[in-house]
Structure 1
Amino acid sequence: MKLDTSIIISTYNSPAWLEKVLYGFNNQTYRMFEVVIADDGSTQETADVLVRLQKEVFFPIVHVWHEDDGFQKTKILNKAVEKCSTPYIIMTDGDCIPRKDFVEVHVKYRVEGHFLSGGYFKLPMNISEAITKEDIYTERCFDIKWLKKHGLKSSFKNSKLTAGPIKAGILNAITTTTATWNGHNASGWKDEIVAVNGFDERMQYGGEDRELGERMMNNGIKGLQIRYSAITVHLDHPRGYVKEEMLVKNRAIRDAVKANNSIWTDNGIVKNKK
């Protein structure tokens, strides 16, 4: 079976959540993919989980790791992009469990000259912890009745989980949410990501994924909205890595990209191109 898709999953010291996510990918209807773990400096525990799961899941796992040096997600993502062996890349996070048709949806709607913009459905901590391997394989964790039984509150956002294909298509078309490159659920062609030199490695937390999409759009790549079709549930976690100076710095970089209509960063996969 020839692989035609690479799944990049970012992670940092969250092996229990990553294990649940990998079970989600082991449940996919579309199977011609590899998984590339973009590991921003996790301890040996994460590596051990990957070695154990490689014996259980059907897809190959490539573990891309670097030393822990604070929040350096953009750097490890660029290394992961280089390791992808297929022409198409789906990016997500190690806290987002994919519904069984997640990869199938991305593959169905992929088209050259475009990237796909998905979303996620946030779960509270108690439900995140309660989800088991069986809940993932049976897809109970995507069932609104099961989630409400475990304390989920009613909301319009629940339509992400209840919408069938026709309704999801309508909601994708009418949503006021702009199609952006979202690190938790987005996909595009590897050569179109490399054409803008990947992620800007000066950026830490706060819009670092969207900045990549903004340069891609400046380079003529259009975003397509699939937030109601490509479904993941997001496991809760603390965000102790968020710092105000990161947000300010990243905002300035994005403002410059917009002002200059930039398509390239000198701080990406290739360094200091003149």
Structure 2
Amino acid sequence: MKASVIFSTYNSEAWLEKTIWGFSAQDETDFEIIIADDGSKPATKELIDALRPQVKMPIIHVWQEDNGFQKSQILNKAILAATTDYLIFTDGDCIPRKDFVSTHLQYREKGYFLSGGYFMLPMETSVAITKDDILSGRCFRLEWLTKHGLKSSYKNVKLAVHGFTASFLNWITPTKATWNGHNASGWKEDLVAINGFNQDMQYGGQDRELGERLFNKGLKSKQIRYSAICIHLDHKRGYVNEETWKKNYAIRANTKKNKVVRTPVGIDSNQ
């Protein structure tokens, strides 16, 4: 297969199902899906088992016991489970447009990682999206979205551009091409070389810190935020706290200052 798509989930079956349907409708089908499950209850496994026969792509379910927010650890376990050499990362609350995987494959290049963005939806719109809306692609059309609660914004242009215009906007955007957990990709060998995600980090910047170590390793990045599109379903974030943010900022500061490449607590802690 050409790639492994990795995304995390935690007790969010409704959003997870929409994400899986999004990947089932891709114009490129030669990839595997790896669901990094950070301790969900049995309902998540039951959903995955029910959907697996309905989806062309193989689905690998990697689960660990619930020990609080341990996304970095479960993503490292998913990296180990990947059977391909190119890994595409998103989240279990992001529905990919049909060209999401093919776009990542189109722009991949040795010595680089890819940096995409997301299009945030309000709760009203998130709930309204059905399986048929996803399979038909209508949930990516501005006309449909505005009828279902999306407000007008200059940011909406992201869903309206394609081809040269999207490439041009990728080039001129002031947004830095960082590693974004909801939409990024890279070579497995590069991620293994830096020992994956730092498991000392909980919510808040652990994806950026991984990208900073990739830069320290000598990699460059490409911006594809207007080409690789996914819509982000709304949800609460009960796992956010100031103490964790401060700890993570300190780790990132050390990574930048000391040009850290390999995290001391990462992939090899799970082998």
Which category describes the TM-score, using the shorter chain as reference length?
over 0.9
Distance 1:96 1:151 in 2: 18
Do structure 1's residue 198 and structure 2's residue 199 form an aligned pair? no
Distance 1:269 1:122 in 2: 30
Give the C-alpha shift of residue 166 in structure 1: 1.1
Equivalent residue, structure 2, for 1:102 = 100
Q: In the alignment, residue 216 of structure 1 is paired with which amino acid?
A: L
Distance 1:110 1:57 in 2: 25
Give the match's secondary structure for 1:237: coil
Give the match's secondary structure for 1:55: helix
Distance 1:164 1:267 in 2: 40
- The partner residue of 1:125 within 123, 126, 132 is 123
Q: In the alignment, residue 165 of structure 1 is paired with which amino acid?
A: G
Uncovered stretches (5+) of structure 1, i.e. residues with no partner: none
Equivalent residue, structure 2, for 1:222 = 220
- The partner residue of 2:211 within 198, 210, 213 is 213
Could you tell me the TM-score, scaled by structure 1's length? Answer: 0.97
Distance 2:3 2:156 in 1: 29
Distance 1:126 1:148 in 2: 11
Number of residue pairs aligned between Structure 1 and Structure 2: 270
Distance 1:211 1:32 in 2: 30
Give the match's secondary structure for 2:268: coil
Q: In the alignment, residue 121 of structure 2 is paired with which amino acid?
A: L
Give the match's secondary structure for 2:149: coil
Summarize deviations over 1:11-69 as a string: whole Å, max 9, x none: 01101100000000000000110000000000000000000000100000100000001
- Share of identical aligned residues, percent? 59
Equivalent residue, structure 1, for 2:142 = 144
Equivalent residue, structure 2, for 1:262 = 260
Uncovered stretches (5+) of structure 2, i.e. residues with no partner: none
Q: In the alignment, residue 226 of structure 2 is paired with which amino acid?
A: Y
Q: In the alignment, residue 265 of structure 2 is paired with which amino acid?
A: N
Do structure 1's residue 182 and structure 2's residue 176 form an aligned pair? no
Distance 2:190 2:103 in 1: 20
- The partner residue of 2:19 within 18, 21, 42 is 21
Equivalent residue, structure 1, for 2:8 = 10
Could you tell me the TM-score, scaled by structure 2's length? Answer: 0.98
Give the match's secondary structure for 2:7: strand
Give the match's secondary structure for 1:270: helix
Distance 1:265 1:133 in 2: 40
Give the match's secondary structure for 1:198: coil
Summarize deviations over 1:203-231 as a string: whole Å, max 9, x none: 00000001000000100111110000000
- The partner residue of 1:34 within 27, 32, 35 is 32
Q: In the alignment, residue 131 of structure 2 is paired with which amino acid?
A: K
Q: CA RMSD in A?
A: 0.9
Do structure 1's residue 89 and structure 2's residue 93 form an aligned pair? no
Distance 1:260 1:185 in 2: 27
Give the match's secondary structure for 2:267: coil
Q: In the alignment, residue 143 of structure 2 is paired with which amino acid?
A: K
Equivalent residue, structure 1, for 2:45 = 47
